[in-house]
Amino acid sequence: MKYPNGNILNPLAVTIFAALPVLAGVMAAAPANADATVNKVVVIGLDGTMYKKVQEAKAPNLLKLAGEGTLGQTSIAPHTTISGPSWATVLTGVWDTKHGIYDNNVTTAPFVKYPTAFTQLEKADPGLKTESFASWGTIATMAGSGDPHADVNVATPAPADDPTEAKIDAATADSSAAAVTNDAPDFLFTHLDQVDEAGHGHGSASTEYLDAVKRVDAEVGKIVAAVDARAKAHPNEKWNILVTADHGHRPTGGHGGQSADETANFLIARGPSFKAGSTNTTNSLVDVTPTVLALLGVKGSTAFDGKSVINAGGSTPSTGSFGFDLPGSGS
């Protein structure tokens, strides 16, 4: 056996060269930075849910998440307290005055100028895995907007005989938990709807509303259990969970106005990037997309009205990351 220049290889060199293809194969089989730390983000949206009712219902999973993370409670006034505008704000990081959605007749057009978190993440890094599972079909319109859009985008089919929407939420939560376990997406968005259904049918002061909060809390628990099991099995994956709502409900039912109950909003942020046991009166739904992008190492848009809430602990000034007042700041 010879070098390219014709010189004879010594026996030791022959042995080393013979081993190189095997070593190369082993190195090729092992992914680069296999043990590198990566952030993962799960956002859970609870339609029509008020945090004071979470407390009243003594919902164990949501209260535990809030205690283990950072809890923000504020008003989103004068933002429109309707699902379409609010979930668009959650997924874009801008208020209705920018994205221009003021009702539930949502098309993909507004997301050309103000793309969703899915599009922003996929553009920045096509290798990121993004998924959406929703009980309300309009979420699929948002997640499917733009190019590129969510890698997986599922609107859960409505089951028969499901007046409380407990069945559809259970199916959505099951799909989300399975995605965490099997796919480990970098960004997962989940929407659960039954609390809003109870609010419309019975009002937020009703037993039915509290029962819906307790049921949806159990569905949240499924997803959190899947996240915690996955994190334990894969220590290099640092999982963060954000939970928010789109609006509240009047005691007698309904929303869309500017009362304190309708504009009440909360944001729970739990994970290694957040201070445990902290509370503030600033973090809200508009901060979700900026926080998701920051966690996944993607530069935020200068159009954002929201801000990253990573390590945002106690009360801070009610201004966005660019210095303007946020709704509900009292300014």
Please give the pLDDT value at position 331.
24
What does the pLDDT look like over 217-253, one tens digit per residue?
Answer: 999 999 999 999 999 999 999 999 999 999 999 999 9
Tokens of 139: 């979420």
Domain boundaries, the chain: 1-30, 38-295
C-alpha 176/C-alpha 64 separation (Å) is 20
Q: Which of 61, 32, 31, 30 is nearest to 46 (CA)?
A: 61
Say which CATH superfamily domain 38-295 falls into: Alkaline Phosphatase, subunit A (3.40.720.10)
Six-digit token pair at 197? 């259904």
Provide the pLDDT confidence category of residue 265 given band limits of 50, 70 and 90: very high
Cβ(117)–Cβ(146) under 8 Å? Answer: no
Could you tell me which residues are beta bridge partners of residue 192? 46
Strand order in 152-155's β-sheet?
152-155, 130-134, 187-192, 38-46, 237-244, 264-270, 70-75, 278-280
The token pair at 13 is 């060199």
* 133-144 confidence digits (pLDDT tens): 999 999 999 999
The pair of structure tokens assigned to 21 is: 């293809």
What pLDDT shows up at residue 328? 34
State how far the Cα of 149 lies from the Cα of 106, in Å rounded to an integer.
16
* Helices 83-92 and 117-124: angle between axes, nearest 10 degrees: 20
79 burial type by CB count under 10 A (0-12 exposed, 13-18 middle, 19+ buried): buried
List phi, psi (to 5°) of 109. Answer: -55, -45
Q: What is the pLDDT of residues 149-166, one digit of tens each?
A: 999 999 999 999 999 999
For residue 38, which phi and psi values (nearest 5 degrees)? -130, 140
